[in-house]
Amino acid sequence: MRPHVRNVGDHRRNIDGAVPIHHTHAVVIEIEQFHESPRSFGRTVLPRWRVAYLRRTSILRPRRGRAIHTTVTRAQGRCATLPAPSARRGRHSRREEGTLMTNSTTADMTARWAWLREQTPALRNRIYMNCGFQGPMSQPVADAMHAWIDRELSLGPTTREVLEARRQLATRYRELAAQLVGADPDEIAITEHTTRGINVVTGGLSVEADDGVVTSGIEHASGMIPSYFLRERRGADMRIVPLSPEDSPGAMAERFAGVIDARTRLVLVSGVSYSTGQRLPIAELVSLAHRANPGARVLIDGAQTAGHEPIDVHASGVDAYAFPMHKWMCGPGGLGALYIRRDRIAEIDPAAVSGHAAAAWDFAGEFTPERESIQKFELTTVSGVLLAGGVAAIEQYLASGPEAVWERARALNRVAEQRLKRTGVTVISPSSEATRTGLFTFHTPSIPAAALAYHLQQTAGIVCRGVRELDAVRLSLNAYNTEDEIERVAEVVEGALRDGVTPEAQAVAQPAAGAVEP
């Protein structure tokens, strides 16, 4: 195998050769691999997709200070150029060489959000405000997945080069997932989703009768049900802390302080509530739990945080953090990751096991379980297609800059609050800047939330969801959304309040209200 690179050099041009692009932040490279064998009479062209943001592991070495983003828009037969924001060191710059983050100019970020919209096909036909359920995939992420399928189709999934490439891809995914949350790669297990990560901890942590398990009243079922099972199976003393969207970080911490004590073994809460949209004071809760009982462990449901807000698990002190790729990250479904603090790994037993859970074994009865490696929680085959999509999604998010995405989402929330209030709805999500996120939730007393959510999609192509517990409509406002889209939502809500929803929306209201997001 040898790489063949076209359009790489000091004077790069677009794919048609017409427009010089050597001054852009990002350039497009098409890579072909040539497969030669004694039986072949030609070459097999295998498309590859790779993003390199000045990282040491890059297979393509740009000139110093230059970022290269490689994509091939195969369906359209042309390349897509990705504008990368200005790279200036700031508070949220990543420790590793290789990530373009930080305080970019307004013009940079406006161009970046426009690029995301242009590269996300679903946004051409819909007003998509449901990444808190599952985010829309961009063309580069899809291209990465298609390229992996093409590789397996051309070479077969177990040829040496494909197996080695998949191993390297898993390593890269682990590295990027660690970078995403401020961890080290040997603290990251590859999982299928957030729920799997939560169950690894709740199923493997020693919890005995009368040990305290603390959670909140604004949790997703994937956090609540494992907590209930700790009560049912092990006799844990489960305590549910009631929270309100109006609660300040201090008020929330005070409520938790009233139930966390020396018997508390596990605190399981969300970083951001999927229902109210409020941000919880994670670092404060960690400090409370560890002070009350050094043996207490704090597990975070990161379903609504990864790809949404900047995360630093080391700074917060959390013991475990589970997160997915398919929500705010806009990556493939069926892929996630679990962070466990290095000095906590040994104390959690894998409930489901494979060869990764053995340090040594033979057929004569000798067996030594693996204690220290995070990979003891992983089972067997992980899809190369999903890993390729996950790598592309994380690189795309890091290129935008976590702080920039976070501020953009919160800014859109402010716009939604100001505009939707004028329609007469009741805003549920917090208005405090300390707890505001990109999730915006509102209630209409005269229309069931599920009916209104269905009506919004049916009549205007606005994709959102209803939250059954609050009888509320939830908008997930990501960086690619726009103020004009929020205005359109407000107009349709005003029309529904005035004229009612469609009969079809009213008919499906009750079944839709019971939908549970993954």
Phi and psi based region of residue 506 (left: phi greater than 0; alpha: psi -120 to 50; beta: remaining): alpha
What pLDDT sits at residue 54? 29
Contact present, 82 and 24 (Cβ < 8 Å): no
3: confidence class by pLDDT, cuts 50, 70, 90: very low
Q: Where are the domains of the chain?
A: 1-118, 180-399, 401-513
What is the distance between the alpha carbons of residues 46 and 147, in angstroms, rounded to a whole number? Answer: 8
Residue 73 phi, psi dihedral angles, 5° rounding = -85, 90
Q: What DSSP character marks residue 209?
A: T
What is the distance between the alpha carbons of residues 282 and 300, in angstroms, rounded to a whole number? Answer: 8
| Cross-strand partners of 476 | 439
Q: What DSSP character marks residue 137?
A: P
Token pair 């049912």 is at which residue? 232
Contacts of residue 291, Cβ cutoff 8 Å, sequence gap at least 6: none
**Helix or strand or coil: residue 493?**
helix
- Greater confidence, 304 or 90? 304
- Check pLDDT > 70 for residue 98: no
- Check pLDDT > 80 for residue 352: yes
Contact present, 47 and 74 (Cβ < 8 Å): yes
- Greater confidence, 513 or 20? 513
Using one digit for the tens of pLDDT, what is the confidence trace for 313-347? Answer: 999 999 999 999 999 999 999 999 999 999 999 99
Interior angle at CA 431, CA 425 and CA 437, nearest 5: 105
What pLDDT sits at residue 102? 41
What pLDDT sits at residue 428? 97
Residue 155 phi, psi dihedral angles, 5° rounding = -110, -20
What pLDDT sits at residue 508? 81
Contact present, 39 and 70 (Cβ < 8 Å): no
| Cross-strand partners of 266 | 213, 297
- Greater confidence, 426 or 4? 426
Query: Which of 94-98, 174-178, 265-269 comes out lowest in average pLDDT?
Result: 94-98
- Check pLDDT > 80 for residue 96: no
Burial 434-455 (b: 16+ CB within 10 A, else e): ebbbbbbbbbbeebbbbbbbbb
Q: What DSSP character marks residue 13?
A: B
What is the distance between the alpha carbons of residues 93 and 90, in angstroms, rounded to a whole number? Answer: 5
Max CA distance (Å), the chain = 77
What is the distance between the alpha carbons of residues 348 and 369, in angstroms, rounded to a whole number? Answer: 12
In percent, the amount of the chain with pLDDT more than 90 equals: 76
Contacts of residue 477, Cβ cutoff 8 Å, sequence gap at least 6: 129, 409, 412, 413, 416, 438, 439, 440, 486
Q: Which of 61, 79, 70, 63 is nearest to 11 (CA)?
A: 63
Q: Which of 205, 229, 203 is nearest to 215 (CA)?
A: 229
What pLDDT sits at residue 510? 60
CATH number of the structural domain 401-513: 3.90.1150.10
Tell me how long the chain is. 518
Q: Which of 348, 320, 396 is nearest to 115 (CA)?
A: 396
33: confidence class by pLDDT, cuts 50, 70, 90: very low
What is the distance between the alpha carbons of residues 347 and 297, in angstroms, rounded to a whole number? Answer: 11
**Helix or strand or coil: residue 216?**
strand
Cα Rg, the chain, nearest whole Å: 24
Contacts of residue 110, Cβ cutoff 8 Å, sequence gap at least 6: none
Task: Give mean pLDDT, residues 150-168.
Answer: 96
Query: Which of 92-101, 171-180, 255-264, 391-400 comes out lowest in average pLDDT?
Result: 92-101
Q: Which of 23, 382, 13 is nearest to 191 (CA)?
A: 382
Contacts of residue 37, Cβ cutoff 8 Å, sequence gap at least 6: none
Contacts of residue 66, Cβ cutoff 8 Å, sequence gap at least 6: 54
What pLDDT sits at residue 517? 56
What is the distance between the alpha carbons of residues 188 and 321, in angstroms, rounded to a whole number? Answer: 10
- Check pLDDT > 50 for residue 186: yes
Burial-class residue 380 by CB neighbours within 10 Å (0-12, 13-18, 19+).
exposed
What is the distance between the alpha carbons of residues 451 and 440, in angstroms, rounded to a whole number? Answer: 17
Using one digit for the tens of pLDDT, what is the confidence trace for 433-465? Answer: 999 999 999 999 999 999 999 999 999 999 999
Q: What is the mean pLDDT of the chain?
A: 83
CATH architecture of 180-399: 3-Layer(aba) Sandwich (3.40)
Pairing of strands 439-443, 426-427: antiparallel
**Which pair of tokens denotes residue 422?**
């004028």
Contact present, 278 and 309 (Cβ < 8 Å): no
- Check pLDDT > 70 for residue 143: yes
Interior angle at CA 168, CA 134 and CA 324, nearest 5: 20
What pLDDT sits at residue 26? 35
What pLDDT sits at residue 169? 97
Burial-class residue 345 by CB neighbours within 10 Å (0-12, 13-18, 19+).
buried
What pLDDT sits at residue 518? 52
As a dihedral over the C-alpha atoms of residue 260, residue 261, residue 263, residue 265, rounded to 10 degrees, the angle is 40
- Check pLDDT > 70 for residue 82: no
